[in-house]
Amino acid sequence: MRTKAVSLLQELTDAHSVPGHEDEVRAIFVDELEDCGELSTDRNGSVFCESTGDGPRVLVAGHMDEVGFMVQNITTDGFIQFVPLGGWWEHSLLSQRVEILTRSGGKILGVVSSRPPHLLAEAQRRQVMTIDQMFIDVGAESRREVMDEIGISLGDPIAPCSVFTPMAREDYFMAKAFDNRVGMAGVIQAGQILTRSTLPNRLILCGTVQEEVGLRGAKTAAAFSHPDVAIILEGPPADDTPGFSRADCQGRLGGGVQIRLFDPSAIANPRLAGLAIDVARAEGIPHQVTVRRSGGTDAGSFHLANNGVPCIVLGVPARYIHSHNSIIDLNDYLNMITLIIALVRRLDRETVDGLSEYL
Ligand SMILES: [Zn+2]
């Protein structure tokens, strides 16, 4: 499980997959799961692999997109202006490498401009630049060169460029986009293991599009797949670094799979949350319960879909998400896989019906 986890995480984090342009992650999903069930997509591009079992429809979903950018304009002297796709803190952008995906499939390396301190007035050094003041340099001299020779067009998607790297500490890995490639790897790897055995439910594995721009893909994914219950997998922010209270931390690397009870986008179904915690305890799976003051996940859209869908969010905390370099502890990921498997195996008709029996 460990070897497969590392190779899957490497392949997924290396993929270029910003909101609305999730083709590379979808291709990995299809490649990994085509023998595990029937594949389909909704019309926005969210992808599904549905097993043949009887019983309640159990959805295990993660979002395929990562935060990135889109080409907004090309200046006459060949620099690229861009808009964000998802939430970025401008501090983390200057002088970072990016890859622009062209219509012909080329990946063009560029760097976000940054002025040397020599050329900055004192007041400018203390300012946070806004994204509309930045540009990407691909080493061209003119708009014509950027468009006609390099092949970049307005609207082309741009992803951070950063290499998946094992760290000195065993089981620590650094890469871009652990939010949410840990979730996608979880959907794939838990799905492959679960579909090898008979389940008391009909398992639907899912990769959604456009989560980072407002939980959009999950809306149509829910309407398309009609889940009776949904487990949403995420790569939430860790809060175990200097500046946070260690004692009050709810997302510690090495602390186990995170079970999220609340964020402003969704309240977990309390019976499902209770079951997830009970299962983790019974199976001895390291876990950390979190109540978040901010943030949101696809559960925000899934739980409001159709007649309502009981949801729980499981996560692998990652430091420095929404930047070029985030860090995870692989053991948290492996604990998430173990919990997904144990939880899904308990979701029979009676249990799932019980999650939303109110009379
Ligand atoms: Zn996410």
Q: Ligand 1 centroid to 290 CA: how many Å?
A: 15
Q: Are residues 205 and 149 in the same domain?
A: no
Residues 137-195 have pLDDT tens digits of 999 999 999 999 999 999 999 999 999 999 999 999 999 999 999 999 999 999 999 99
Answer yes or no: do 134 and 28 share one domain.
Answer: no
Amino acid at 106: G
Same domain, 254 and 338: yes
Q: For residues 312 and 259, is the Cβ–Cβ distance under 8 A?
A: yes
Q: Separation of 139 CA from ligand 1 center, angstroms?
A: 32
pLDDT in tens, 307-336: 999 999 999 999 999 999 999 999 999 999
For residues 131 and 196, state if they share a domain.
Answer: no
The residue segments making up the domain with residue 347 are: 2-66+176-355
Query: pLDDT tens for residues 224-257?
Result: 999 999 999 999 999 999 999 888 899 999 999 9
CA-CA distance, 25 to 38, in Å (whole number)? 18
Q: How far is the CA of 141 from the centre of ligand 1 (A)?
A: 37
pLDDT at 169: 97
**DSSP helix, strand, coil percent of the chain (3-state; round to 5):** 30, 25, 45
Provide the whole-model pTM.
0.96
Active site residues: 211
Neighbours of 102 (CB within 10 A): 15
CATH value at residue 108: 2.40.30.40
Beta strands 311-315 and 229-234: pairing type? parallel
Q: What confidence score (pLDDT) does residue 172 get? A: 98
Residue 229 burial (CB < 10 Å; 0-12/13-18/19+)? buried
Do 198 and 330 share a domain, yes or no? yes
The burial class, CB within 10 Å (0-12 / 13-18 / 19+), for 125 is: exposed
d(CA 52, CA 42): 19
Asked whether residue 155 falls in the same domain as residue 193, the answer is no
